[in-house]
Chains A and B, each alone.
Chain A
């Protein structure tokens, strides 16, 4: 799997290269600013790009803007945006058109290597990876308006994991339950929230996020 990394802190960039190489990814470019990222992605067409939000020259949101451009110009390239803090508004901007092949994670998540690699793989293969923090914000914001009070605590957990972009198998593994139980929970949630049942993970995420009002 081919990866381009855009991160301005050299220490972090090298660490990521090492981590991903070690995990069998092919890191074809590691750059330090948004413009180089755009040209690298255009030239190399990787499966996924890992993009830091704050990069030179303004250190505000150039990474995010580059990520949005890449998603528009090269729909085949997955984009995992990566930051030291999460802004729900940024997530909304990223997911604006379609919640596929996109991720938004806190940098802290690299500490759990397996989870991080899993999220990256998901994004690269057209899935979604939303940080639990973002999902938490959305869940809190939608608690009253989206009818979440009707859900059991377990169902709310499952909903969060669904919103993060995980598959049934992933949810089952995270909650240490069987896939069958997960399916039952999912069906209950969709029924309670009045959502039409949908099969694909992406369509499901979209439905959930729309429902949460992102």
Chain B
């Protein structure tokens, strides 16, 4: 909403799309809370029903209740313990999706369950936290339900003056019971047409208050979601960091191995050959006096010269692979240079308020390089868009192409990329339906 006019905004608030979506979220919230209260009671309830149906609950003979109860009670508890975490996860997933659809709030998914075994089912930390969210949903649903109530009955009360003439066109002197209207402060009754305007005023007040009550409810709910449904609890964070540290160490080792290999098979061979050719040339030139074999010496020196140039080119490529010098001028320059080397035309847009940390620039650069190479190699795209959008804290890198899609986020290339950016808490999203187009978004922190 661009309108800054305070009262108008307040008046319009109940009728905006966000308010309707909020209301939908609150309605679901109320039903979820009801489900949280009812579902765990269902199992013991069914048990009791069974007992009652078999006549065990009848007063006589009383002792028959004990054995079925002794069996049923632990069974119920065990069933609840086993089912709770996965149910919590499922409910959490639904609420995360609802939050992203209705409230535009993205809550990251918790890490998946370690394994499918029963032990993992019961000791599933994120699952139990989701159960915690489910329980918290009950108090959270109070303001949400209250907001929905104000919303719905605000509209109903507001319409009382319209209904009155239609249904209360009775002859004068007829004595009728009062018409009741529900408000948050109890029911108010009216017997006169003028009274309906009082009801309508109460309805208007309720309607105006409703969005703010609902907003309070959803804000608290979103906070609870981030706290309990997201992946970030200290122990998990530690596990994540351990994994990403191991990844970083692995990457560094692999990098060193590759460097060694590249130097060994590249520059080192060239330089050894060059030294050999120069050694042979020296012999052909002799120690002093006229050279014994000038023609061969010339040829060998030319060979050595070429070898030296090749060795230089090799080393230049290697150095660029380690750290492209153009990155020192900033990500914008580096990406523009990168784009000019691409086989497919690339449109580069970079909007960065500040320079990110050098490590982040390097990661962003190599991600862009890999994604561009992927687009050129696999997608048959005719155009590629490379965008970098930065705020003070996050950097969004997106690579889009109009190719034939089908990029696999779990394939070795993209999965490797995801692992590498996870080291700095980056997130990658891949959208690549078969037939295209492909969009890969990478979100990185601007500082490590």
Question: Contact residues of A with B, CB < 8 Å?
Answer: 9, 11-12, 15-16, 18-19, 22, 54, 59, 84, 107-108, 110-114, 116
Contact = CB atoms under 8 A, between A and B. Distances in A.
Nearest to B296: A22
B272 A12 contact: yes
B267 to A, nearest CB: 11
B264 A111 contact: no
Given A54-B264, A59-B261, A114-B283, A9 B269 contact: yes
Given A11-B273, A12-B273, A15-B273, A111 B279 contact: yes
A15 B264 contact: no
Nearest to A117: B283
Interface of B: 261, 264-265, 268-270, 272-273, 275-280, 282-283, 307
B280 A22 contact: yes
A49 B193 CA distance: 115
Nearest to B278: A111
Nearest to A112: B279
A100 to B, nearest CB: 27
A98 B276 CA distance: 30
B275 A12 contact: no
B275 A9 contact: no
Nearest to A113: B279
Contacts of A114: 283
Contacts of B278: 111
Nearest to A11: B273
B261 A111 contact: no
A113 B275 CA distance: 10
A15 B277 contact: yes
A11 B275 contact: no
Contacts of B276: 12, 15-16, 19, 110-111, 113
Nearest to B264: A84
Nearest to B272: A107
A112 B162 CA distance: 109
Contacts of B279: 110-113, 116
Contact of A12 (B269, B280, B282): B269
A71 to B, nearest CB: 25
* Best-surrounded residue of B268, B269, B282 (most CB of chain A within 10 A): B269
10 contacts: A9-B273, A12-B272, A15-B276, A15-B277, A18-B280, A84-B268, A84-B272, A110-B272, A112-B279, A113-B276
A114 B283 CA distance: 8
A16 B273 CA distance: 9
A22 B279 CA distance: 13
Contacts of B268: 84
B284 to A, nearest CB: 9
Given A9-B269, A22-B280, A110 B264 contact: no
Contacts of B264: 54, 84
Contacts of A112: 279
Contacts of A107: 272
A113 B283 contact: yes
Contacts of B282: 113
B271 to A, nearest CB: 9
B261 A11 contact: no
A110 B276 CA distance: 5
Contacts of A116: 279
A111 B265 contact: no
A9 B265 contact: yes
A102 B278 CA distance: 27
Nearest to B266: A9
